Structure 1
Amino acid sequence: MSHYPMFANLRGRAVLLVGAGQVAERKAAALLQVGAVLRVVAETLNPQFQSWSDSGRIEWLGGVFREDCLNGVFLAVAATDDRDLNQRVFQSAEARGTFCNVVDTTDLCSFIVPAVVDRSPVQIAVSSGGTSPVLARKWRQIIEMLVPLHTGKMAQLAGKWRDRVKEATRNAEERRHFWEKLFDSRFSSLAAQGDMAAAESELAAQLAGYAPHKGEVVLVGAGPGDAGLLTVHALQAIQAADVVFYDALVSDEIMATVRKDAEKISVGKRAGCHHVQQEETNRLLVEHAQAGRRVVRLKGGDPFVFGRGGEEAQVLRQAGIPYRIVPGVTAALGATAYAGIPLTHRDCAQSALFVTGHSKHDGEQPDWRTLALSNQTLVVYMGTLRASVIAEKLVEYGRSADTPVAVISNGTLPNQSVQTGRLQNLPELAEDAPRPALMVIGEVAALRDELKWFGEAA
């Protein structure tokens, strides 16, 4: 991030505007709208500027820019077609430590003006850091359609009642829960209809009947790594959470979607590394939910596919904790798609089988005869450490040693790597592969060279 986002309060503050053409007029109108005391330097004033000057809304300093025009100025804007003049304004402002924006000239800006969705007092700013204003405006238009027109009215009422809500709730978490529930309730419908008196009565009624929020746990599938694969429900749950327990396999990109003030606790599990015991994770989930917090258990892939989500849900059920499950894209689907390997194909694989490379210490041995069947794709999670045993057993029970295989590391991420070969050299491929890695065994793995589209070898 190259620019620090902020909103400036310009009411009653002096702003210098150099220029009085069409572009400058748009800047002036926006500055006057927020209450800036506008000083203008321009050789001539167009009709609109002249009208503002005659009515006392702007102060015209004449046609010559001097450094003392910046005296007492909070920020400056240069909007002329004279680059030398614009540069002088910028350099003079820089020397004084005054913010300056030269319109459409990124290298002469100490601040930039974003595209804004205005639902006053709610404002949403979109910026490209000066690299592509058209792209920023495009996204502003998209967001504009998503933000209801009555959002500002709700915000005004919320501001009016903010102190009373603070008095009626015990802490910041409870206040946030109250407001979130309110904004999703009939209060919003009444505001949309323009009946603000009824909306205020609804707010008062909900506050009078307010009860402390009961905690819950949401088991959320984070997918294989690419944050773009998060579901809408997953993103909503993550951003509403008070505390997030996350696995080692959850990518930094996804963790960046967690609210800044939420508590983040690593309970990661990775082969060969120290990790929090499952029993301790279960205890923490129950403890935080019983304290009234909204808890997200964020898991790589899908919670119910080799993610111990079923075990955690059982613990929550026994403790009487409300819970929800948000499915995610499991690695066998996401990583293979990004690797260009279809799980099924009419010519060579009529089924796909997902297995884990390890089980409980006292677990039964897998049915190797079933795993070794031809015309199926075998996807092995957490199996790289046992690749030698897996390859040996599959060959022993009838799978050809020449069967195509692939080992996918960091699937769906920018550093994804895919190694392909034959079942007989799977142990070497697994040994060399960065972890975490997924092993794919079957004829479909040979399609990688034809269908690859993402990553270093695409």
Structure 2
Amino acid sequence: MQHESQEKPRLNAFPIFMRVEGEVVAIVGSGDEALAKARLLGQSSASLRIVAKNAEPALLDFIARHRAVHVEADYAHEHLEGAVMVFAATADETLDTRIVADARRMGIPVNAVDRPELCDFFTPALVNRAPLAVAIGTEGAGPVLAQMIRARIDQMLSPSLGALAGLAASFRDAAETLLPRGNPRRRFWSDFFSGPTARAVAAGNLSLAHDAATELLLSRTPAVGHIALVGAGPGAEDLLTLRAQRLLMDADVIVFDALVPEAVVAMGRRDAERMPVGKRKGCHSKSQSEINTLLVALGREGRRVVRLKSGDPLVFGRAGEEMAALRDAGISYEVVPGVTAAFAAAADFELPLTLRGVTSSMVFTTGHDLKGGTLPDWAKLAISGATVAVYMGRSVAAEVAGRLIESGLSPDTAVAVVENASLSNRRRFHGTLADLPSLEARRDLSGPVMTIIGDAVAGANFDRSEALVAQKPTVFGQDEALVSAAEGKAR
């Protein structure tokens, strides 16, 4: 079972690329709305038919320069015949509605400019690197936003990408003939778009690029497996590192733990094989030994694998055992850090884990260490002022609190608790070490819980958190210090 989170909104309009080469696209309108659509469609190889009785000068100029067919007449439904798409751009609601009705009756998809409720499809903001295209849509909700995003993407993409995509098209048949489906073919295209071929195209040397692509295609170097142990972060997909995202897009196989949200797994390629390996409290689908064996086997098969671990791989992720197994088997691997849950929980609380003059050290622990007969070293550090972050400690909260208080840590020490750190459905609680045992009794906490203990916690922002336990009764008319002292004696 994966980490629970709110379901992502679903698209009401699914983006596709429709063939328009040599096909008729009809635009009805004579002003700026019609001109904007004509300019957009003018980037394609469609045959434009513009129905405009009194076309404005700018539209007439476009028609002349692009050799569009100009129907200089009042609109009639016959003007739509033979079209594969229709744009109603008259700025007249009644006429646009009529055009939409005619197009639908004729079975032609239609777009009514600035009238999303009448549209069968929406036109995107377009980044054109033909034959490569990037389309950005908002289902008509925010055209200006789409244009802003288009401008950013346009700056990011090299002008040479169109030429590179064109060269790739010329090698497609050969690649399908010479390379088997699956990993070998995928590896060829990955190297094609990121290696010497791409660099030669970017330098403007198409002849050298063609030679490099040919050499790559004919090489028979066996695929080398590689395992990336990747930190998936605490849950929010936008906390994933850029390196992690790149590796996910390059992976043949994604092996993931139960606490890794589907939204993070989905950032990989759609055709990548996905292997859940469980390892959640009460639900262990594979033992650690089985996971080690799986990673080694995938590496020996020449697969590129991303091993997704919740948080950071090196913090309670048992990455040490997996690295040892890969080293012993001679399999190439790397480790990609992730945002660990303690940092995410602290950020949710605006909590300084270290605080000048208060604490300059911190401890990460699972809390289960306290089940032994002797006090672990980290507990001694907590008593001396370190901030303690307790992972997976909800079921032993009472024991953690009891042992720390018994060993000398003040019951008034501040405590912050976060369920589902970093996610939109996170919950924050605050209290003291004496309040911590109440955590075990809560039945409304189903997500992962992180507990932070220490004097630095007092510097957190508690405006958006709730008390761990009901507020103690207030004693009016007495000095706060006397009340505090009385409570201390009672303990």
TM range (shorter): over 0.9
Q: Is the 8 A contact 1:341 1:451 kept in 2?
A: no
Q: Is the 8 A contact 1:220 1:299 kept in 2?
A: yes
Report the equivalent of 1:301: 311
Of the three residues 170, 177, 184, the one matched with 2:194 is 184
Of the three residues 159, 166, 174, the one matched with 2:176 is 166
Within a 5 Å distance, the mapping from 1:59-458 to structure 2 comes to: 59-358=69-368, 366-367=376-377, 369-432=379-442, 433-450=445-462
Residue 351 of structure 1 deviates from its aligned partner by 1.5
Q: Is the 8 A contact 1:225 1:300 kept in 2?
A: yes
Q: Is the 8 A contact 2:27 2:88 kept in 1?
A: yes
Structure-1-length-normalised TM-score: 0.92
1:382-422 CA deviation, whole Å, 9 max, x = no partner? 12111121111101110011211122110000110011111
Q: Which moved more, 1:348-357 or 1:22-31?
A: 22-31
Q: Is the 8 A contact 1:332 1:379 kept in 2?
A: yes
Residue 97 of structure 1 deviates from its aligned partner by 3.1
Q: Is the 8 A contact 1:217 1:294 kept in 2?
A: yes
Q: Is the 8 A contact 1:372 1:395 kept in 2?
A: no
TM-aligned CA distance change 1:170 to 1:363, over 3 Å: farther
TM-aligned CA distance change 1:82 to 1:365, over 3 Å: same
Work out the CA distance in 1 between the residues paired with 2:326 and 2:109.
Answer: 54
Residue 55 of structure 1 deviates from its aligned partner by 9.0
Work out the CA distance in 2 between the residues paired with 1:56 and 1:260.
Answer: 39
Work out the CA distance in 2 between the residues paired with 1:208 and 1:53.
Answer: 48
Work out the CA distance in 2 between the residues paired with 1:369 and 1:289.
Answer: 40
1:329-361 CA deviation, whole Å, 9 max, x = no partner? 111112211222221112432211111223699
Work out the CA distance in 1 between the residues paired with 2:458 and 2:209.
Answer: 62
Work out the CA distance in 2 between the residues paired with 1:332 and 1:276.
Answer: 26
Q: Is the 8 A contact 1:114 1:126 kept in 2?
A: yes
Aligned residue pairs: how many? 453
Q: Is the 8 A contact 2:49 2:68 kept in 1?
A: yes
TM-aligned CA distance change 1:443 to 1:365, over 3 Å: closer
Of the three residues 50, 54, 57, the one matched with 1:40 is 50
Q: Secondary structure at the match of 2:368?
A: coil
Work out the CA distance in 2 between the residues paired with 1:54 and 1:148.
Answer: 31
Work out the CA distance in 2 between the residues paired with 1:369 and 1:379.
Answer: 11
Q: Is the 8 A contact 1:368 1:397 kept in 2?
A: no
Structure 2 unmatched runs, 5+: 1-10, 466-491
Work out the CA distance in 2 between the residues paired with 1:281 and 1:111.
Answer: 46
Q: 1:19 is matched by which residue type in structure 2?
A: G
Q: Secondary structure at the match of 1:117?
A: strand
1:186-238 CA deviation, whole Å, 9 max, x = no partner? 22222122111111011112223241311110000011111111111110011
Report the equivalent of 2:30: 20
Q: 2:283 is matched by which residue type in structure 1?
A: C
Q: 1:215 is matched by which residue type in structure 2?
A: G
Q: Is the 8 A contact 2:349 2:462 kept in 1?
A: no
Structure-2-length-normalised TM-score: 0.86
Residue 4 of structure 1 deviates from its aligned partner by 0.5
Q: Is the 8 A contact 2:370 2:403 kept in 1?
A: no
Q: 1:420 is matched by which residue type in structure 2?
A: H
Work out the CA distance in 1 between the residues paired with 2:96 and 2:53.
Answer: 14
Work out the CA distance in 1 between the residues paired with 2:368 and 2:201.
Answer: 56
Q: 1:72 is matched by which residue type in structure 2?
A: G
1:43-65 CA deviation, whole Å, 9 max, x = no partner? 22344655677799333444322
Q: Is the 8 A contact 2:201 2:209 kept in 1?
A: yes
Task: Give % identity.
Answer: 39
Report the equivalent of 1:456: none
